[in-house]
Each structure stands twice: as structure tokens, then as C-alpha cells.
Chains A and B, each alone.
Chain A
Amino acid sequence: MADRVCVQINSEIDIVTARQKGRDKAQQLGFSSTELTLIATAISEVVRNIVEYARRGELCVGIVQQGDKRGIVVVAQDSGPGIPDINLAMQDGYSTGKSLGLGLPGAKRLMDEFEIVSEVGKGTKVTMKKWVQKNVR
């Protein structure tokens, strides 16, 4: 995909860059200002998880087309420790850090589609999509 933008994630400073890139791409696609914020926030959460639990990884944003739907696809991938129990990690309030445990379930609520694949010792990949609302101008 030519219109795919990736950001290498090496430290917390890259979180700001990653969500800016996501916001730019979403803006090109014509998302409303509220939706831009939702997308940037979801990106912030998954990239922060990379920094926090896997140290480094990559965030890519691209455009998806499915039938007459157009949208943004966000992929956050790392080769970190992986998540032993995904169902548990997706629960509100579950955190192995001493945090709120809202990142993953929250990001899922902010986007239209959310998929997480993880293998212990191999890494984690989160894929999220949001569709442009058709009947809004």
C-alpha cells in the first residue's frame, strides 16, 4: 500500500509523533474533528503499551477500502514479551503495571474494529480500523 505511513517506536517521545501521523492520515480521509481525536487517542494507547511493555516496535497507518466503505487502519506491532491471556488484558481495569488498565479495552471502544494477536515470547500485534461516516457530508 503506497499510502501507508510508519513510525518506529523507540521511546515515549515517539508517541507524540505516532499520533500526529495518525491524525494527519485520518484528516486526509475526511474524518470529523471528534473522530480525529478518537483515532489519535486510540493510537496513543497502543503505542504507549509498546513503549511500556515491549520497549520498541512500529506503528503504521494506512487507508482501507471495503466495498463502498473507506477508512483508516492502524497497526501497532512489537516483538516484545507478548500477552499470556488476551481476554484478561482486554478487560477494563486489568493491568500488570500499576495502571488503570483501560488502554486496550478503551482503544477498542474508540475504534470501529479491533483485533489483537499476541504470542508469549514472540510479540504483539494490534490492528484497529475506523470507517468514514458516509452520510456526514
Chain B
Amino acid sequence: MLVPILKQGDYLIASIQSELSDADLLKLRDDLVRRVSEFRSRGVIVDVTVLDVMDSFATRTLRSMAHMIMLRGAETVIVGIQPEVAFSMVQLGLRLEGVTTALDLEEGLSLLDHKIKGDNGLG
């Protein structure tokens, strides 16, 4: 399952469309990291609204992705974690430390604007 990556100005937006296999998720990570370098993007948003499970592997992959992107000078925001999924993640013991999160795409974009361009928003 391919995850479309949209370039919007300084940002890259990846909207996951369906449940992903491990290989799909790894591919998404590598694609995003590569494109951040390629486009010199300053922010990345990964929309996980459709995911109804975030297990230890998914969390670990998203975390390492955020880290690799940070090393390339860009910010990552994970948006759209569902209430049930958030509940399940903390029960499992997963916290996504060091990764910024936002409610949805819109909030994610305003968060990036705020962080990167110093626009008003929640910091």
C-alpha cells in the first residue's frame, strides 16, 4: 500500500490511507527522509487518522523517522491519533517521546507554522 506524499511549500504531508504492513511503514519512513533532503523541507506531517492500531513497531518506526528527519533539519508532527488508539498506546507503555503530535492536519499545519515561522499558535 503506497502512501501518497504531498509537497506543500516548505512542508511534506503524508496521509496514510489504510492499515499498513511493516514493510509499507518502513518504506514511508525512508521515502520521507529522502524527500526532506531532496526538497529541503522544513516540516513533515504524517496523518495517521485511519490507523486503528499503533503497536510497538509502528511507534518505534515513527519515532526513528522523526529523529532522522530532525537530523536533516526539519520538524515532524504526527496528527490524527484516535482516542482509542491513544488509550491503547499508553496502556501498552508507548509514549512517542520527543515526537510532536497534533489533533489533525489543520492543527498540525498551524503548529508547524508556529514553530518554524514563529506564527501564532500553540507552542
Contacts and interface: CB of A to CB of B under 8 A. Distances in A.
Complex contact flag A–B (Cβ < 8 Å)? yes
A99 B60 contact: yes
Given A12-B22, A41-B89, A102-B94, 17 more contacts: A15-B22, A19-B53, A34-B84, A34-B88, A37-B85, A41-B53, A41-B88, A44-B53, A44-B57, A45-B56, A92-B93, A100-B56, A103-B56, A106-B93, A107-B92, A109-B91, A109-B93
B52 interface: yes
A6 interface: no
Contacts of A92: 93
Interface of A: 12-13, 15-16, 19-20, 23, 33-34, 36-38, 40-41, 44-45, 48, 92, 99-100, 102-103, 105-107, 109-110
A40 B93 contact: no
B93 A41 contact: no
B54 to A, nearest CB: 7
Contact of A38 (B21, B22, B91): B91
Contacts of B84: 33-34, 36-37
Contacts of B54: 41
Interface residues of B, number: 24
13 contacts: A12-B22, A34-B88, A36-B52, A36-B84, A41-B55, A41-B92, A44-B57, A48-B56, A100-B59, A100-B94, A110-B88, A110-B91, A110-B92
A7 B76 CA distance: 36
Nearest to A14: B21
Given A12-B21, A15-B22, A99-B60, A37 B53 contact: yes
Nearest to A47: B55
B65 to A, nearest CB: 15
A100 B87 contact: no
B104 to A, nearest CB: 19
Given A106-B92, A109-B92, A109-B93, A15 B21 contact: yes
Contacts of B22: 12, 15
